[in-house]
A = this chain, B = another copy of it.
């Protein structure tokens, strides 16, 4: 039996005991947002392929002439500062498009976080289709609108939230919106989270364990947690901190 056989395919973290904990597409965007990529796929020819964790998808600045869609798994999009640190601008889950905007010029590098399937479109093909088919135009505009909304939120989080608030807010994104106490997985490493939230991985770790102590979540293991009090997390992320009072007791 190989490692791959034992691995939890959903989250790509090895270990069979926890397979059942992996919520189906836990990090996936709501169904509605699958639409743009699905529609694009039906209207523009593209080449699908599978990639393994860590495998690179695109390189910052390259004029690859490609747009990439994530069909399954999770991809991290990042840039490096001149002094070598990394900033993960976003995690692209299934349904996300990478490289829109200046068609075909990559604004950032991208690598697989988990085993993923991606589809590659030629930017030129999309450009042509944009002229011919209004449905393509709608799909692209919708995808751009979604990314802009997502970025707006990320920006607010970076600009105005404390370290713990950022982590709480991120956990809310990881967990399905409605469910009160479902088990969720954390596909990415602490370092990935840290580089996305603009904090250190130690701070992420501490925050998670603090939430565990406060009974907001239950850390099942390093990559799985259960939401115990979603409202508590929400309040905490929002800055209402009745929870902070409990912090002293904890």
Contacts and interface: CB of A to CB of B under 8 A. Distances in A.
A159 B156 contact: no
A5 interface: no
Given A83-B240, A159-B158, A239-B83, A108 B144 contact: no
A47 interface: no
Given A81-B160, A137-B130, A238-B81, A148 B89 contact: no
Contacts of A131: 134
A10 interface: no
A156 B131 CA distance: 33
A89 B149 CA distance: 12
Contacts of A154: 155
A159 B89 CA distance: 9
A156 B239 contact: no
A190 interface: no
Contact of A145 (B102, B130, B160): B102
Interface in A158-209: 158-160, 196-198
B155 A89 contact: yes
B239 A81 contact: yes
A61 to B, nearest CB: 12
Contact of A159 (B83, B140, B144, B198): B198
27 contacts: A79-B152, A81-B239, A82-B238, A83-B238, A85-B160, A87-B156, A87-B159, A87-B160, A89-B156, A100-B145, A100-B148, A101-B145, A101-B148, A102-B145, A102-B149, A107-B149, A130-B141, A131-B134, A140-B141, A144-B144, A147-B148, A148-B148, A148-B151, A151-B155, A159-B196, A159-B197, A159-B198
